[in-house]
Structure 1
């Protein structure tokens, strides 16, 4: 009798353990299903949010674009004063629309981004054409450097080059490839010189550097936009740019600047030391390499404050190549500069060259 009871106990205990294990497995499976359902729910909610953001962007963008187009169409037949007022308003609204696009890039699909950029480009072209038709084109003006130039190291001879060495650009407004560049200043058609602009000269203005060869350029301060076009074998350093930097037809050069957005076209064998708060974009480029912005000067922190850029947000290595759409495969058109090859001493060559020129 006692033996039989012991056998029953031995049979009961394993059964209870087995039931407990089965219950534990069922609980784990149930918990896994709950977690999986939560993940699917979160993914669906994220997708809905992204779709809602995209729909809001499209609606707001098209509404603002229509308003600008209406302003431009109202310039036809109007008197000069009214045309000037409407063009100024359209220019300001176009700049705001560009900023809205820059701020929305993180959640837009690449297709929607390209569509919006094409629409904005067309709008800027229409703005330039309307301005050219309605108002006489302003001519370039020559202006000597201000006394503020003494605040930064710069060769005196580079500030007021003669007509056979180049032209300092300083105009009220002009058009660069269909894009309005207002209150523009900069340098053009120069070879083998060191050039400097002070914060007082470029602060909140649009800066244009074009047709420069073998030049070293230092731009202190915070410009509104920076346009680089037809640059060959140059070193160009700029303080924080509050909105966009546009680079076109640049080769064998070194560039450094913080900005909100970078658009680079037709550029080869160029190094870019970058601080950018959105994502850099390249198109029709080869041999472009990137590293974090590393140039420094005494008033850099103040200029960052003026620009409004977020110093804690730098997407320098996040580059979208519009000629390379193969998902999961890196673009062959750009690379990251290895740390051991990155430039850190920016001013020694510039000072040496400035000294030679001044003598």
Structure 2
């Protein structure tokens, strides 16, 4: 091999070495850039989390301070404070919903638990300020005792109008239905608008709630069909079985519930705990003023996470919880009223 060929080979080898060095340098630079971007992204998420935590806790403390002022105050002052606390809690729920994308599961659960505690405190303060009268049937005559337990036309009329006598007071004034069997129950938008609604100890009842409640509490429900207009904040379900529910809301939290179908529109993620046999489908009930009630509620009509369900008893990542299912399209109810 002559000198010219030897020199060319040496130059070619040097070029290849230089190219490899450049590629290695470029790969290292790209890797460093990716690490920097990941670090910056993590930093942004951490900053958002810190901002959320400080803002959330400050507003929670503010609501707790409002509630503490209820102690010893007159009824008018308590009512005003409860309205303020309720409005602040609704805004805090919206803040949580808007922050869910960057919160960890732990942060989300802590915030949801804090909200639940606030809502319970508001309900307790309202109960103390305006005690709910116990349901009591009037004494029946012996002749009445011999009659079938089927509700009379008059009783049906009272139930259909949403008015039931509770120790002489109309239950519609209390925004609740309690301890009733085999009845058709209705409340209008005027009854429920921006109010807390409680349904408890109902068996084989059909309930229609038109309008936009602030919150909805369902307790000890058996064999019922409950349809509700848009709830501006949360729906709490406890000890419900063999029932059908249809409701739009910001948050759904369900405890101790079995064999129940939920037709849902929810802007956050639904939560179940100590439940089994619960199934979900999109909200499908409709009535003439539904769109107006959505406007009043402030819910996003186009946002629905009905199939995004967190089971607090099922922590196996990547494996679907056996405690809830999606209702097949062919089995979903689309016609609710004759």
Using structure 1 for the length normalisation, give the TM-score: 0.72
- 1:114 is the counterpart of 2:109: yes
Structure 1 Cα separation of the partners of residues 78 and 23 of structure 2: 72
Match of 2:285 among 287, 291, 295: 295
Deviations 1:230-250, CA, capped at 9 Å, x for gaps:
111111122222221111111
Conserved in 2, the CA contact under 8 Å of 1:106 and 1:278? no
SS of 1:260's partner is strand
CA positional deviation for 1:341: 1.8
Does the C-alpha gap of structure 1 residues 32 and 236 become closer, same or farther in structure 2, counting only changes over 3 Å? farther
Does the C-alpha gap of structure 1 residues 214 and 292 become closer, same or farther in structure 2, counting only changes over 3 Å? same
Match of 2:323 among 324, 333, 338: 333
Conserved in 1, the CA contact under 8 Å of 2:178 and 2:199? yes
Q: Which 10-residue stretch deviates more, 42-51 or 319-328?
A: 42-51
User: 1:261 corresponds to which residue?
Assistant: 251
Q: Which 10-residue stretch deviates more, 209-218 or 278-287?
A: 209-218
CA positional deviation for 1:53: 1.7
- 1:170 is the counterpart of 2:160: no
Conserved in 2, the CA contact under 8 Å of 1:141 and 1:171? no
Does the C-alpha gap of structure 1 residues 34 and 140 become closer, same or farther in structure 2, counting only changes over 3 Å? farther
Structure 1 Cα separation of the partners of residues 287 and 214 of structure 2: 19
SS of 2:89's partner is helix
Structure 2 Cα separation of the partners of residues 78 and 186 of structure 1: 25
Match of 2:272 among 279, 282, 290: 282
Does the C-alpha gap of structure 1 residues 259 and 74 become closer, same or farther in structure 2, counting only changes over 3 Å? closer
Structure 1 Cα separation of the partners of residues 78 and 288 of structure 2: 43
Conserved in 1, the CA contact under 8 Å of 2:256 and 2:274? yes
Conserved in 2, the CA contact under 8 Å of 1:241 and 1:259? yes
SS of 1:221's partner is coil
Match of 1:308 among 295, 298, 304: 298
Match of 2:131 among 112, 137, 144: 137
Conserved in 2, the CA contact under 8 Å of 1:280 and 1:319? yes
Structure 1 Cα separation of the partners of residues 242 and 322 of structure 2: 18
Give the length in aligned residue pairs. Answer: 313
SS of 1:281's partner is strand
- 1:96 is the counterpart of 2:91: yes
Deviations 1:201-259, CA, capped at 9 Å, x for gaps:
32333222221111222222222222211111111122222221111111111111111
- 1:217 is the counterpart of 2:207: yes
Does the C-alpha gap of structure 1 residues 311 and 132 become closer, same or farther in structure 2, counting only changes over 3 Å? closer
User: 2:40 corresponds to which residue?
Assistant: 45
Q: Which 10-residue stretch deviates more, 30-39 or 109-118?
A: 30-39
User: 1:159 corresponds to which residue?
Assistant: 160
User: 1:355 corresponds to which residue?
Assistant: none
Structure 1 Cα separation of the partners of residues 120 and 207 of structure 2: 29
CA positional deviation for 1:84: 5.3
CA positional deviation for 1:321: 0.8
Does the C-alpha gap of structure 1 residues 336 and 243 become closer, same or farther in structure 2, counting only changes over 3 Å? same
Does the C-alpha gap of structure 1 residues 76 and 163 become closer, same or farther in structure 2, counting only changes over 3 Å? closer
Match of 2:178 among 188, 193, 208: 188
- 1:319 is the counterpart of 2:309: yes
- 1:232 is the counterpart of 2:222: yes
Structure 2 Cα separation of the partners of residues 286 and 87 of structure 1: 35
Pairing 1:236-251 to 2, within 5 Å after superposition: 236-251=226-241
Does the C-alpha gap of structure 1 residues 31 and 289 become closer, same or farther in structure 2, counting only changes over 3 Å? farther
Deviations 1:109-155, CA, capped at 9 Å, x for gaps:
2212222233334444555555666x46354799xxxxxxxxxxxx7
Conserved in 1, the CA contact under 8 Å of 2:172 and 2:187? no
Conserved in 1, the CA contact under 8 Å of 2:164 and 2:171? no
Structure 1 Cα separation of the partners of residues 23 and 330 of structure 2: 50
Conserved in 2, the CA contact under 8 Å of 1:276 and 1:313? yes
